[in-house]
Amino acid sequence: MITIDNYNFAGKRALIRVDFNVPLNDKFEITDETRIKATVPTISKILKDGGSVVLMSHLGRPKSGPEDKSSLKHLVKRLSEVFGVTVKFADDCIGEESYKLSSTLKPGEILLLENLRFYKEEEKGDEAFAEKLSKHGDVYVNDAFGTAHRAHASTTIVAKFFKDKVCGYVMQAELVNAKKVLEHAERPFTAIMGGSKISDKILIIEKLLDKVDNLIIGGGMTYTFVKAQGGKIGKSIHEDDKMELALELLKKAEAKGVKLYFPSDNVIADGFKNDANTQVVKSGEIPDGWEGLDIGPDSVKVFADIVENSKTVLWNGPMGVFEFPTFAVGTEAIAKAVVSATKKGGFSLIGGGDSASAINNLGYGDDVSYVSTGGGALLEYMEGKILPGVAALES
């Protein structure tokens, strides 16, 4: 695999797959710039070498062709500010005008192509579409780890039309940090798994049982474990068809000597809203009509203590419905504990998605070792799956 430091971009147009699938508010302002700022080193290196840059990305999930809310035009102004260059924009990623713009790019210039997913061929991995995209560059760079688990036209197929395929800094850092946790973790190694469903995390949990000393389970998935063991969960989110699986995981953890930690208490509510009535109850004692939306104060203390005394921490998934401030206390406490462990010399990897949003929104992004930009991609890589976007750079 060619890494970006081992390639000279002088006089070359670099076609870069970036992951600019960023959240926008109703005024089309970017509310989390993590993914954009992560690409600055890669783009700066290319421009410094004397190359030019053609950026391609998706945004959102457009249903059937172009739609204003998913247009990358909303990013142009902010991208120009971040990169210190007036970013040009092509309103069709394979339109005639886009080729005119990319073919006349001068060294030091940046062009952003319109949303790739306005063409259904992108997600289908269509070869003809990929070939059309390839005409925008002399060298292909993939810096979109967040989409590396998808065999889409721009993430995988397009690579076959280039002699030179380069791994960007974001992609490289993601792989290095994931390997550090999987293969070179200092002990005690604690993994924190949150989120709503066991089914989303089953493979990574099973993989981690061979690696970790402590596994903390929080978020909505805890209620499936609690119900499987005969506890009362009220109307909390759970998966009835995964209860047997939950019990199997408990046995596997015990057999492998992994300490499993579940919340001992929960903050419950009588409605799924920030201003619902709340109370704290012991785990397994949630009354009918109520649902668990966060871990309770006793759980916070126990979990924080374990995390703070760990040498390696992997965190993927919130402890509760952190979008509501009332139920963000557990997630915030875990974030602070991860920061504390890092300051004591530990290594912390925040596993993309909601965990990354939580840590960044709290202002702790620079206080942990690494914040992954790829949720699903990181999980699949850690599960041992081959990521098509990575494999395409190696061939």
- d(C-alpha 156, C-alpha 366), whole Å: 31
> Which sign, positive or negative, has the C-alpha torsion 148, 152, 155, 161?
positive
Residue 115 buriedness (CB in 10 A; 0-12 / 13-18 / 19+): buried
3-state secondary structure of 262: coil
Residue 349 CB coordination number (10 Å): 27
Q: Is the separation of the CB atoms in 164 and 11 below 8 Å?
A: no
Helix %, strand %, coil % of the chain (to 5): 45, 20, 40
Q: Which of the following is catalytic: 77, 180, 197, 235?
A: 197
Distance CA 322, CA 318 (A): 7
- For the beta carbon of residue 6, count every other beta carbon within 10 angstroms: 9
Cα–Cα distance, 281 to 263 (Å, whole number): 11
Helix (H, G, I), strand (E, B) or coil at 390: helix
353 is catalytic: yes
Please give the Cα distance from 195 to 318 (Å, whole number): 6
Set 17, 35, 132, 165: catalytic member: 35
Q: Which of 194, 317, 353, 375 is catalytic?
A: 353
Active site residue 195: no
Task: Check if 95 is active-site.
Answer: no
**By the 8 A CB rule, do 267 and 321 touch?**
no
Strands 88-90 and 13-17: unpaired
Element (H, E) at 192: strand 189-193
Would you call the peptide bond into 188 cis, given omega within 30 degrees of 0 as the criterion? yes
| Residue 184 CA to its chain's centroid (Å) | 22
- Residues 6 or more apart whose CB falls under 8 angstroms from that of 346 comprise 186, 310, 311, 312, 313, 369
> Which residues are known to be catalytic?
35, 197, 353, 376
